[in-house]
Chains A and B, each alone.
Chain A
Amino acid sequence: MSHDDHHAVVIPAPGPEFVPHTVAHHFSTPVQEFQAGKLGFWLFLATEILLFGGLFAAYFYFHELFPETFRVGGEQLDWRLGALNTSVLLLSSWTMAMGVRSAQTSQKSKTMIYLFLTVLGAAGFMVIKFIEYKAKNEHGLICFGHLFDGYDMASGQVSWFKDYDGVMAGVPHGHMFFSIYLTMTAIHGLHVIIGAIAIIYVMRGTAMGRYHAGYYLPVDLVGLYWHLVDLIWIFLFPLLYLVP
């Protein structure tokens, strides 16, 4: 059987510290491979947005039903910590963009540094998030120790909502704001962690010299993912901390 049109296309390495890239067998050109990866990833990002879309829909629906709950609940969040986290993420989006740029221009050590800084940003974000959760725990607004204890018939409240300081007293369904806050920020936090893992993965590839001007698709895609994580936070921050 003739295989003459099945031979693989190889993109040469721009220097000794890089390795060449072999285009996957079912693509005819590197451009085709690049575009396929990009299109696929954009579609994936669309599904992520839709996934969060369900949560946003729930947010708006209940904001409409119980405005008081969202107003008083929102006041319990520390907008300064939220703003700090927003800046951390924005900064990390910039380092990520610089990392992608450095990969595109075959600057290996620069790529490493920028990617590393981005991971630091992710870690910083999670630490601040942890501090916030801890405060909610202390005030009994989200008792993490009782998270799965269920509905308390006697008080007509969920077990994880104790409100030690009585800040939500008299507000209808006070726990609702915090359950939406917790769910949205936790799912977002999960995305931050996944993003950080993905960045560490492309750092490994960068160290091995896999990404350079001829082939940087994975760095590019992880970058897109990171910007999405950032973008979702840009919506979450005002909705949870400021709008109420």
Chain B
Amino acid sequence: MTTNTPAVDVQTPPTAPPRENYLNCSKGFKSWALTLDHKRIGLMYLIGVSIAFLSGGMFALLVRLHLWEPEGMLFTNIEYNQIFTLHGAFMVFLFVIPAIPGSLGNIVMPLMVGAKDVALPKLNLLSFYLWLIGAVLAVLAIVLGGFDTGWTFYAPYSLYTDRAVVTIGMAIFILGFSSIFTGLNFIVTVHKLRAPGITWFRMPLFVWAIYATAILQVLATPVLGITVLLVAFERLYNIGIFDPRLGGDPVLFEHFFWFYSHPAVYIMVLPAFGIISELVSVHSRKPLFGYKLIAFSSIAIAIISFLVWGHHMFTSGQSTYALFAFSFLTFFVAIPTAIKEFSWVATVWKGSVALNSPMLYTLAFLIIFAIGGLTGVILGALNVDLHLHDTYFVVAHFHYVMMGSIALAFFAGLHHWWPKMFGVMYNEFQAKIACALIFVGFNATFLPQFVMGSRGMPRRYATYVPEYAPYHQASTIGAMILGTGVAMMVIYLIASLLIRKKAKENQWGGVTLDWIAPTPPPHLNFDHEPKVVHEVYDYSTLDYDSMQRDCN
């Protein structure tokens, strides 16, 4: 070795500096905290809702552990009420409602319509901070004594309990406005910012789904807002409209609450439908079967879902005519929902299905949602519901849709767009194992709940008669398996960010604009304003070179 060698390491091949993208285009805390970039806001949502999901999951595991023994293993009855309420409230208001629109919707939807951002970027950032304030208030409510009303806050108990109902009410009010502003923003974006050539019927179905969701967010959530406000007023100065001591009517609360909360179940599930629609097409390499049917059924669901809230109140003493009407409309809303399920299955049918992890999650969704949706129809039958109402059958039904379908669709979307968002791939093998664990664990948790519910096990009880023990124990074991699968997923996803195995420029061979944009997308999404000249899901236009190339 001589002393005058030039200071150049000839061993390393010259690497191009990484292209500028939304992750590296600016640095520092402020560049994130004050960002107006929909992708960064989406990532912040992703972190937030994931933390909420994991906390909600911890509460769930505590509930299940407690129920291992008929007398209850961990808590007093009062503590148990708090734990299951925390589980429900965190999952519904901090996770399921904001999760998909806030994170994947924010990141992917503007890309899909070829926009540089959402229409109102500052409002978008505000939505995120409102979510954050709501989350902080929810945690504060725990510190201030917790809340034990169940996620439904039924009056009159919610008026009389000495817990921090006002604080959690404010949290929900603020979270509601976060949701409203997101919806409003997305409606305007879809209407006004579509790139040239993206006609309404060239919009990917995820955009349609997010759009239908947004309508519900804007039109249903204010009613929830006023409802929790009225509960707070009732507690603060006895306004009297829900309080039977003062001539108020607790059933009015139920009407108000479900007028929001039934549409809310579609606020939760429509984005999941959107993800599944994308994924079945891309991973079967086939245009969607019944594109327009799926698009219109989203809108139909959005409308009909405003008319079925009474099916949560079959036992609350409504008039017979109201009961019939609500039951009939409940069967009716199942039709557009079933249309979707059939369209997806028909899309997968004879497609060249790639059994990668996003598709495995999708297939899991298709199976689980069929069960979840059909048990909803069973509950919509008046005479059957009189028996099943407030039993574990209902618990199992809505977990099949909320956890088994919506959360799984969220995972599917996360795995699908992960390479897009970060330019890295996770370990596919581990992903498949985790998916299998989650699928098995989920069914082991909730199938027994259908059985014990139909045999009369009431929901929300801290103790039970020993006859139910085998079902509860099976359910608890299932929950542990499910928890293991989720923990594994969190670990390999985070690990992928550290290992940084490069993703492909177009990892799955998608043809919608989100896959045409560079990976990861630059700050303004596209290097040139995109112009779309072909139909959506037209795989003959696929640029195979970009599929093979590593991303920058």
Query: A residues bordering B, Cβ < 8 Å?
Result: 1-2, 5-6, 24-28, 32, 35-37, 39-40, 43-44, 46-48, 50-55, 57-58, 61-62, 65-66, 147-148, 150-151, 156, 158, 160, 172-173, 175-176, 179-180, 183
Knowing A50-B219, A61-B252, say if A26 contacts B121 (CB, 8 Å).
Answer: yes
In the docked arrangement, what's the CA distance between A48 and B184, Å? Answer: 13
Distance to closest chain B CB from A83 (angstroms):
26
Residue B188, interface by CB 8 Å? yes
Q: Are A179 and B230 in contact (CB under 8 A)?
A: no
Any chain A CB within 8 A of the CB of B222? yes
Pairs of residues from A and B, 6 with the lowest C-beta to C-beta distance, nearest first: A54-B226, A173-B247, A50-B222, A26-B117, A26-B116, A158-B238
CA distance A179 to B115 in the complex (A): 48
What residues of B have a CB within 8 angstroms of the CB of A183 in the complex? Answer: 230, 233, 239
List residues of chain B with CB under 8 Å of any chain A CB.
19-20, 115-121, 123, 180, 184-185, 187-188, 191-193, 218-219, 221-223, 225-227, 230, 233, 236-241, 243, 245-249, 252, 256, 522, 524, 527-529
Q: Which residues of B contact A180 (CB under 8 A)?
A: 239, 241
CA distance A179 to B356 in the complex (A): 59
Chain A contacts of B219 at CB under 8 A?
Answer: 46-47, 50
* Interchain CA distance A151-B180 in the complex, whole Å: 34
B56 CB to closest chain A CB (Å) equals 27
Given A5-B529, A151-B246, A176-B241, A39 contacting B225 (CB threshold 8 A): no
Across the interface, A40 reaches (CB within 8 A) one of B117, B184, B243, B528, namely B184
Contacts of A44 in B (CB 8 A): 184
Cα of A1 to Cα of B20 in the assembled complex, Å: 9
Q: In the docked arrangement, what's the CA distance between A151 and B239, Å? A: 10
Contacts of A150 in B (CB 8 A): 238
Show 27 residue pairs from A and B whose CB-CB distance is below 8 angstroms, ordered by the A residue.
A25-B524, A26-B121, A26-B193, A26-B524, A35-B192, A36-B120, A36-B191, A39-B191, A40-B120, A40-B188, A43-B218, A47-B180, A47-B184, A48-B222, A51-B225, A53-B226, A62-B241, A65-B249, A151-B238, A158-B238, A158-B240, A160-B237, A175-B240, A175-B246, A179-B240, A179-B241, A180-B239
Report the minimal beta-carbon distance from A216 to chain B, rounded to whole angstroms.
18
Q: How far is the CB of A177 from chain B (nearest CB, A)?
A: 10
Q: Are B192 and A53 in contact (CB under 8 A)?
A: no
Cα A147 to Cα B238 in complex, Å, equals: 9
Q: A44-B184, A158-B238 are in contact. Are A36 and B119 (CB under 8 A)?
A: yes
Residues from chain B with Cβ under 8 Å of A50 in the complex: 219, 222-223, 226
Can you name the residue of chain A whose Cβ is closest to the Cβ of B118?
Answer: A26
Judge whether B226 and A36 touch: CB under 8 Å: no
**With the chains together, A40 CA to B186 CA distance in Å?**
9
Q: What A residues does B222 contact at CB under 8 A?
A: 47-48, 50-51, 53-54
A54 in contact with B117 (CB, 8 Å): no
In the docked arrangement, what's the CA distance between A46 and B116, Å?
27
Q: How far is the CB of B119 from chain A (nearest CB, A)?
A: 4
A54 touches B241 (CB 8 A): no
Q: How far does the Cβ of B171 sit from chain A's closest Cβ, in whole Å?
A: 17
Contacts of A5 in B (CB 8 A): 528-529
- Complex CA distance for A215 and B229, rounded to whole angstroms: 37
B239 and A55 contacting across the interface, CB-CB below 8 Å: no
Within the complex, the shortest CB–CB distance from A133 to chain B, in Å, comes to 14
Least CB separation from B224: chain A residue? A54
Q: Contact: A39 with B187, CB < 8 Å?
A: yes
Q: How far is the CB of A34 from chain B (nearest CB, A)?
A: 10
B227 to A179, Cβ gap below 8 A? no
Q: Which A residues are CB-close (under 8 A) to B241?
A: 58, 61-62, 176, 179-180
Residues of chain B lying within 8 A (CB to CB) of residue A175: 238, 240, 246
Task: Report B94 CB to chain A, min CB distance, Å.
Answer: 21
| In contact, B237 and A39 (Cβ under 8 angstroms) | no
Closest to A59 in B: B241
Supposing A148-B237, A158-B237 touch, asked if A58 and B230 sit within 8 A by C-beta, the answer is yes
Residue among B184, B219, B230, B243 with the highest chain A CB neighbour number at 10 A: B184
A62 CB contacts on chain B under 8 angstroms: 241, 247
Cβ contact within 8 Å between A39 and B188:
yes
* B20 proximity list for chain A (CB < 8 A): 1
Set A6, A26, A43, A53: member contacting B223, Cβ < 8 A: A53
Contacts of B256 in A (CB 8 A): 54, 57
Contact B252 A58 (CB under 8 A): yes
CA distance A207 to B1 in the complex (A): 73
Q: Which residues does chain A contribute within 8 Å of B187, judged by CB atoms?
A: 39-40, 43
Q: What residue of chain B has the Cβ atom nearest to residue A173's Cβ?
A: B247
B524: chain A residues at CB < 8 Å are 6, 25-26
Q: For residue B234, give the distance in angstroms from its CB to the closest CB of chain A.
A: 9
Residues of B within 8 A of A26 (CB): 115-119, 121, 193, 524
Q: Which residues on A sit within 8 Å (CB–CB) of B249?
A: 61, 65
Determine if A2 and B527 form an interchain contact, defined as CB atoms under 8 angstroms apart.
yes
> Considering only CB atoms, which chain A residue lies closest to B195 in the complex?
A28
Question: Do A148 and B230 touch (CB < 8 A)?
Answer: no
Q: Are A1 and B188 neighbours in the complex by a CB distance under 8 Å?
A: no
Indicate if the CB atoms of B240 and A176 lie closer than 8 Å. Answer: yes
Decide: A51 near B226, CB < 8 A? Known: A58-B241, A158-B237: yes
In the complex, which residues of chain A have a beta carbon less than 8 angstroms from the beta carbon of B119? 26, 36, 40
Measured CB to CB, the nearest residue on chain A to B177 is A47
A71 to chain B, nearest CB (A): 15
| Contact A40–B240 (Cβ < 8 Å) | no
Output the residue of A32, A35, A54, A173 with the most chain B CB within 10 A: A54
Distance in Å from the Cβ of B551 to the closest Cβ of chain A? 15
Give the CA-CA distance A179 to B230 in the complex, in Å: 11
CA A179 to CA B241, docked complex, whole Å: 9
Measured between alpha carbons, how far is A57 from B252 in the docked complex, in Å?
10
Chain B residues in 8 Å Cβ range of A25: 116-117, 524
B521 CB, nearest partner CB in chain A, Å:
12
Cβ contacts under 8 Å, A28 to chain B? 529
Bound complex: CA A50 to CA B176 (Å): 13
Minimum CB–CB distance for A187 against chain B, Å: 8
Instruction: For the complex formed, measure the closest distance between the CB of A168 and the CB atoms of chain B, giving whole angstroms.
Output: 13
Residues of chain B lying within 8 A (CB to CB) of residue A53: 222-223, 226
Q: Give bound CA distance, A160 to B233, whole Å.
A: 13
Cβ A55 vs Cβ B191 within 8 A: no
**Residue in B closest to A142 when the chains form the complex, CB atoms:** B237
* Contact residues in A for B225 (Cβ distance below 8 Å): 51
Minimum C-beta distance from A148 to chain B (A) = 6
Separation in Å of the A190 CB from the closest CB of chain B?
11
In the bound assembly, the distance between CA atoms of A173 and B227 in angstroms comes to 21
When A151-B238, A183-B239 are in contact, do A36 and B247 touch as well, CB less than 8 Å? no
For the complex, give the distance between the alpha carbons of A176 and B226 in Å: 18
CB A15 to nearest CB in B, in angstroms, measures 28
Q: Which residues from chain B contact A40 at a C-beta distance below 8 Å?
A: 119-120, 123, 184-185, 187-188
B247 touches A179 (CB 8 A): no
How far in angstroms is the closest Cβ of chain A from B181? 8
B239 adjacent to A179 (CB under 8 Å):
yes
Additional pairs, 14, CB under 8 Å, beyond known A5-B529, A50-B223: A36-B193, A40-B123, A43-B188, A47-B221, A50-B226, A51-B226, A54-B222, A54-B256, A151-B238, A151-B243, A173-B246, A179-B239, A179-B241, A180-B241
